[in-house]
Amino acid sequence: MALEHRASRPAIGGNSLLTTIRQLLGVSSSSARHDQEDSIRAAIISAVVSTEVGAQNGTNKTASLTFSRPPHDVTEYIKRRLPYPDDTSGFSDIFRCVLDKPGEPMKTVAVKAFKVPGIGRSPEVLQTHAKKLRGEIHIWSRLDHPNVLRLYGIADGFSHLPALVSQWAENGTLTQYLEGPGRDISKDERTLILVRVAKALHYIHSEHVVHGDLTGSNILINGDGQPLISDFGLSSILREYDETSYFHSGKPGALRWAAPELLAQSPESPPTIQSDVYSFGCVMLLTLSGQVPYNEIRDIHLAYAKINGIRPRRPTGLPIEDAHWNMIEVCTDSTPNNRPVLPDIIDYLARQRA
């Protein structure tokens, strides 16, 4: 599955991307909510879209977005569901279940069910969330790496939209792990986590995806202590032929980890490979010290501090060696082009373990 790019003449009177997707879904805004919900769900399950984007901002670029592999519907194989979620956030609930497919070993899975505010008031709300979910399925199902959380398929019955079914991470988030079972792991083990996260992030970029929201909460740790990058809900598909326009769903969700250029620009400004490197520098700080970045600054002052070039303070509780701190500083440089590339970061960290 891939995002294909091709240059051609724009269609006369080209539609907006949202209008084009609505037309492709075959659902009008005047349809009844129930019929629209069924139509959108069917479109998500088929996960097949081919759309041409016409003239945008005076450019003559076009792009074809193709979903060529449908996700597996594993609804009938989901067992042992509890009535309440194991974890919850502002936009989703996480249920711990068992996936029991014939011919395969039973496995514990996480079922991510999306909350859809206003679903009984506006059919357009469901349409908007269906579009975002479609994008997440497309991005996630393309990725295959030992340190990227695996997507098994989708399931009904958890929300108005299909839920995402992925592997269960026994040790929770990286932040939780470092506060609990991983509190006393060695410097070498911490560095190994960082090497694996960096390799996974570099792989994601090689697949023309920017994560866009890398934090200590969406790097998960499995039972073997292996890190797994998760949550591609804010990822962007890289469009190399048109740098002025991206398929994306919003600004980073966690201010402490976000690159300053994303805070200083308009909501339409997309995350980039360089902003992911900035976030990785913040993940380095957390992993090596156990402290979240900018621990010394209150949330209300964070954006101002970052925009004005203030970097995270070097922690003192669990000291970070000079070699590691130097890498954190260059990763969190306020100028994106001054940040290192991930292959150099990986080599540097690997040498520190030698």
**Vertex 253 angle, CA 90 and 131, to 5°:** 75
Q: Structure tokens of 211?
A: 């994560």
Q: Which residues are part of the catalytic machinery?
A: 213
Hey, what amino acid is at 194? L
List the structure tokens of 161: 């939209």
* Selection from 178, 149, 173, 181 nearest residue 287 by Cα: 178
Q: What are phi and psi for residue 116, nearest 5 degrees? A: -125, 95
CA angle 148, 154, 160 (to 5 degrees): 125
Strand positions, DSSP E, the chain: 3-7, 50-52, 61-66, 78-79, 87-88, 92-99, 107-114, 151-155, 163-167, 209-210, 219-221, 227-229, 236-237
Longest CA pairwise span in the chain (Å): 64
Q: Which of 139, 141, 80, 134 is nearest to 111 (CA)?
A: 80
Please calculate the CA angle 308-311-314 and round it to the nearest 5 degrees: 155
Tokens 């598909």, residue located: 237
